[in-house]
Amino acid sequence: MRGSVAGGPRFHGISCNTFRMELPIAIRDQPLPYVERLERRPLQAIDLVVIHCTELPDLATARAYGERRVHPSGTGNSGHYYVDRDGTVLRYVPDDRVAHHVRDCNEHSIGIELVNTGRWPDWFDSRRQVMTEPYPEAQIEALLALVAHLRTMLPNLCSIAGHEELDAAMVAASDDATRQVRRKLDPGPMFPWARVLTACGLHRLTGSPRSL
């Protein structure tokens, strides 16, 4: 599926095909084929942004993963928004639908996926658990603009967390079944938390991540 908005997505102030003019960010609507099967919710139910990275090489691969139908309901796993390395922002799931992006917190959260290689393609290799790809400036700027936009749309949005803080499940390492590695590590140590927290105005959720 191709974007429906012409022009540079990073230009502030351009219109997009869903919202009115004068928005600070351009969002390309590319709904996943199963969005109508995702549970509806009121926007008032949303109080949390969860930051992810795709742990995949590029946006096209992330889209392919998002389109996979892996649940009995005929839906799959994805974030609501994807932010590419160049700052392009895409919406795969509308805010008023529950996306499957984090255990236990889906009903009241928005998932934002940043395209980043992460541990790909050896997610669970115990020798490859260091995430080294930086998040480019354009990507972080677009993320901040997106969060600022969401704060204007979602009246109860107050918190932000990394996926790694909400899901601490361990899995057997792919190279050595006697060892365990984290199932989720995103967005990882390269994510500029201090800068994002200063700019976004949301409270970072801390506390013990859930372990299964």
Residues that bind Zn ion (CB under 5 A): 52, 163, 186
- Closest by Cα among 150, 138, 143, 187 to 43: 150
Instruction: CB nearer to Zn ion: give 47 or 113.
Output: 113
Smaller CB distance to Zn ion: residue 88 or 106? 106
Provide the 10 A C-beta neighbour count for residue 44: 10
Closer by beta carbon to Zn ion, 16 or else 82 = 82
Smallest gap, in angstroms, from Cβ of residue 53 to Zn ion? 7
| Shortest distance (Å) from residue 167 CB to Zn ion | 8
Q: Which of 139, 165, 131 is nearest to 49 (CA)?
A: 165
Residue 26 or 79: the one with the smaller Cβ distance to Zn ion is: 79
State which residue, 16 or 84, has the beta carbon closest to Zn ion.
84
Q: For residue 189, give every residue at least 6 positions away whose Cβ sits within 8 Å of its Cβ, in sequence order, or none.
A: 131
48-53 and 159-162 strand pairing: parallel
Closest distance between Zn ion and the C-beta of residue 24, in Å?
A: 25
Q: Cβ closer to Zn ion: 80 or 163?
A: 163
Taking the CA of residue 173 as centre, how many other CA atoms within 13 Å lie in the half-sphere pointing to its CB? 13
C-alpha dist (Å) from residue 148 to 124, 132, 152: 34, 27, 7
CB atoms within 10 A of CB 17: 12
Count of Cβ atoms closer than 10 Å to residue 212 Cβ: 9
Q: What is the largest CA-CA distance in the chain?
A: 56
CB of 186 to Zn ion, least distance (A): 4
Tokens 């502030």, residue? 12
For residue 4, the minimal CB distance to Zn ion (Å) is: 26
Least distance in angstroms from the C-beta of 65 to Zn ion: 11
